[in-house]
């Protein structure tokens, strides 16, 4: 298996709050990799609000607390209470991108193209639509899925929050991301295609 010493999870919201317990489960419970010997840093600059409970892996007693701190207490990872930046990329062997920022995503892709030893997995959710990309997807394909947008959008649309509509999509995307990570650890062939589903 590939030697992975340091992992980062950027974003602890819709996707990240589901991904972190799956990483823990497959490392500690199912023993698919040495979770306790792997340094896992989780980055998020946000606190848990009532409307997060609709699609994020938190509950009422977590309200008002920093997302990264809540997950760190439950899953033995290190919380970093700020948004992950490009200067952080060089510290890690694997980066999970679970953020709603195209600016971050574009920086990660470009850093990865210049530093091909970094393995990254990028998950996106837009309502019932899920997207998963990884560093093995050809650059020509990835370039079609990044732009210069500064907008930060969440997993749910405004009307879904208003009408209390939730989806399984964040958890499904998180599960696919962890499977791609396990494939990478096992040095199994990793898909070079993007994964998109509805």
- The predicted structure's pLDDT at residue 106: 96
Task: With cut-offs at 50, 70 and 90, classify the pLDDT of residue 39.
Answer: very high
pLDDT classification of 159: cutoffs 50, 70, 90: low
Q: Is it the case that residue 6 has pLDDT exceeding 70?
A: yes
Greatest mean pLDDT range, 75-79, 139-143, 147-151: 75-79
Domain ranges of the chain: 6-197
Question: What residues have CB less than 8 Å from 29, skipping those under 6 apart?
Answer: none
Domain 6-197 coded CATH 3.30.2310.20: no
């Amino acid at each position: 298996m590939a030697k992975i010493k340091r992992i980062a999870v950027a974003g602890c919201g819709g996707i990240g709050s589901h991904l972190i317990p799956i990483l823990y489960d497959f490392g500690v419970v199912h023993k698919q990799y040495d979770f306790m010997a792997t340094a896992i840093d989780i980055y998020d600059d946000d606190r848990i609000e009532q409307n997060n409970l609709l699609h994020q892996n938190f509950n009422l007693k977590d309200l008002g607390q920093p997302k990264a701190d809540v997950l760190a207490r439950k899953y033995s990872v290190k919380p970093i209470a700020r948004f992950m930046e490009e200067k952080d990329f060089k510290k890690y062997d694997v980066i999970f991108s679970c953020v709603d920022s195209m600016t971050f995503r574009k920086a990660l892709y470009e850093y990865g193209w210049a530093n091909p030893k970094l393995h990254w997995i990028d998950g996106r959710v837009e309502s019932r639509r899920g997207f998963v990309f990884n560093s093995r997807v050809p650059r020509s394909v990835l370039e079609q899925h990044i732009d210069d947008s500064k907008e930060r959008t969440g997993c749910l649309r405004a009307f879904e929050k208003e009408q209390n509509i939730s989806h399984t999509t964040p958890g499904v995307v998180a599960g696919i991301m962890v499977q791609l990570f396990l494939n990478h650890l096992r040095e199994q062939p990793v898909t070079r295609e993007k994964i998109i589903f509805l």
